A and B are shown apart, each in its own frame.
Chain A
Amino acid sequence: MAWFKWKHLILFLLVVALMVWSINVTEFDIRKFSQFNNMIDFLSNWFPFNTSVLPTMLKASLVTLGMAFLGSFVGLLVALPVSLLAAKNTAGPFYGSVRIGLSFVRSIPEIVLGLMFLTIVGPGPFAATIAIIVHNASVLSKLIAELIEAADKGPQEAMKAVGARPLIGALFSVFPQIWPNVLSHYFYRFEVAIRTSLMLGLVGGGGIGQQLFVHFKTFQYSTVAVDVMLIMIIVIVVDFLGSRVRQYVM
């Protein structure tokens, strides 16, 4: 037992127990796949693609893209000033309360925010976008606040030394340093927002997500196929663009 201690064995048994329990509660059972023909049957309904809906679905996809972009970008705009109030080194007296407020908002799942705003402003992409803004503002505030806290202290001291006012000092000594990382976080959040706006579509938030849900419920599988294809294209394109931009700014 050169590599392990008794402690590790106990830990291992605990993990095994956790797995057994999870298999139980999730009704995890590979045998359920035994009716493989059902699956093939189901998938064969997807073909041929119902291309006649392509123009409408393309429009719905752009709505999803718009929700994700607006939601994450306005989230970023809100997060930039808020993060200054949420970082230990720039916050001043607000630090504690801003941090608590942010983690409170962050703890509300986006789907809950979505359902909330859907009830308030009615169904459609507007409610979903607001939900994405609120969530992303809180997430990005925290991420950017962490970047601000980790930023090199040198330029901050230099800005104090030239007699710059605190706000200017913080802006200029911190943001040029962290800007690439902010963009990188932003693009990641944009990608996540696409997935979120799909989810919010399912509960009435509009866009291609809602279309997918409707088509599925009404067994229009050849249209579902078009929806799924478009969704995959959006995700891949944004993913690709995001990684290119991140490479470029690094």
Chain B
Amino acid sequence: MSCNEALLTIENGAVRYQKAESYALDHVTLTFQRGEFVCILGKTGAGKSTFIRTLNGLQALTEGDITYNGRSYQTLDREGLRRQRQKMGMIFQHHQLIPRLTVLQNVYTGLFGSRSTIRNIAGLFNESERQLARDVVEQVELLPHLNKRVDLLSGGQRQRVGIARALAQSPDVFLGDEPVASLDPGTANRIFQLIHRLHEERNLLTVINVHDVKLAKRYASRIVALKDGRVVFDDQPEALTEAIEDMLYES
């Protein structure tokens, strides 16, 4: 494994939505390193999505700061933030692919952040970009469906396209907002396995929200649990006792 330097830190990060009485994310301080596979647990409304979305700047912090690759988000303008985000692949619960486009076309959109507007609109991709797109489609085992419209794929296949799109960004970080929550247990496990394998091959930092504690325990190298926007657990999976689980999910 590579250096133990922090890749991504959130310091005293807080989010308070407009008109909300309390913090959705309540002054969280965490440090993440390359190679960590972090699962975020917490019951509904705990602030998991809010937290993940702050990490790539989709959601701005109300207080505190995030540092990625040594750059503080506070010092970045919109364009700077966009460039940081380009290096973080995100996978969503509802995959959020572009309907009516094919698998390959959707994967190409993963390259948008690193290319000029003209070339994006014209759909001009050079040899290495085309090869990259094919490679990532192959890695998620969708080559047979390369030119199929994504609305014609199954839920598990769509999520693979979502992963391929994130891979096309050549990311250093994988972020996931409950990427397997709408899949059956078998498919969910296979998708998690895939994410984990890619994570290892590329030595990424992976931070993923999960509902399923078993999945988290099986794959995570570190588990962070949120409750009411606060970090209430941050340790190796083995340290997550049943008592803590009960505390997390009690109403």
Query: Which A residues have a C-beta under 8 Å from some C-beta of B?
Result: 152, 154-155, 157-165, 167-169, 171-173, 176-177, 179
- Out of B90, B114, B121, which one reaches A161, CB within 8 Å? B90
A167: chain B residues at CB < 8 Å are 117
Contact B120 A168 (CB under 8 A): yes
Question: Given A155-B99, A163-B114, do A172 and B92 touch, yes or no (CB 8 Å)?
Answer: no
Number of A-B contacts (CB under 8 A): 78
Can you name 5 extra interface pairs (CB under 8 A) apart from A160-B58, A161-B90, A162-B90?
A: A155-B98, A157-B58, A162-B109, A167-B117, A176-B101
Contact A161 B112 (CB under 8 A): no
Contact A176 B121 (CB under 8 A): no
CB B55 to nearest CB in A, in angstroms, measures 11
Residue of B nearest to A177 (CB): B99
B98: chain A residues at CB < 8 Å are 155, 158, 172-173, 176-177
- Out of A155, A162, A168, which one reaches B117, CB within 8 Å? A168
Residue of B nearest to A167 (CB): B117
- Out of B86, B94, B97, B121, which one reaches A163, CB within 8 Å? B86
Residue of B nearest to A174 (CB): B98
For the complex, what is the distance from the CA of A169 to the CA of B112, rounded to whole Å? 9
A159: chain B residues at CB < 8 Å are 109, 112
Interface residues contributed by chain B, number (CB under 8 Å): 32
A164: chain B residues at CB < 8 Å are 82, 109, 112-113, 120
B110 close to chain A: CB less than 8 A: yes
Which 10 pairs, one residue from A and one from B, show the smallest C-beta to C-beta distance? A163-B113, A163-B86, A154-B96, A164-B112, A158-B96, A161-B90, A176-B100, A163-B85, A155-B98, A163-B82
Contact A161 B85 (CB under 8 A): yes
A171: chain B residues at CB < 8 Å are 121
For the complex, what is the distance from the CA of A168 to the CA of B120, rounded to whole Å? 7
B111: chain A residues at CB < 8 Å are 162
Residue of A nearest to B86 (CB): A163
CB B162 to nearest CB in A, in angstroms, measures 8
B83 close to chain A: CB less than 8 A: yes
A154: chain B residues at CB < 8 Å are 92, 94-96
For the complex, what is the distance from the CA of A167 to the CA of B78, rounded to whole Å? 13
Query: Which B residues have a C-beta under 8 Å from some C-beta of A?
Result: 56, 58, 82-90, 92, 94-101, 109-114, 117, 120-121, 165-166, 169
For the complex, what is the distance from the CA of A165 to the CA of B92, rounded to whole Å? 20
Question: Given A167-B117, A171-B121, do A162 and B96 touch, yes or no (CB 8 Å)?
Answer: no
A169: chain B residues at CB < 8 Å are 112
For the complex, what is the distance from the CA of A173 to the CA of B99, rounded to whole Å? 9
- Out of A162, A173, A176, which one reaches B169, CB within 8 Å? A162
A168: chain B residues at CB < 8 Å are 112, 117, 120-121
B83: chain A residues at CB < 8 Å are 163
9 A/B residue pairs, CB under 8 Å, sorted by A: A154-B96, A160-B58, A161-B58, A162-B110, A162-B169, A163-B82, A163-B83, A164-B112, A173-B98
For the complex, what is the distance from the CA of A154 to the CA of B106, rounded to whole Å? 14
Contact B117 A160 (CB under 8 A): no
B121: chain A residues at CB < 8 Å are 168, 171
A160: chain B residues at CB < 8 Å are 58, 85
Contact B100 A177 (CB under 8 A): yes
For the complex, what is the distance from the CA of A154 to the CA of B92, rounded to whole Å? 9
Contact B82 A176 (CB under 8 A): no
B165: chain A residues at CB < 8 Å are 158, 162
For the complex, what is the distance from the CA of A29 to the CA of B166, rounded to whole Å? 71
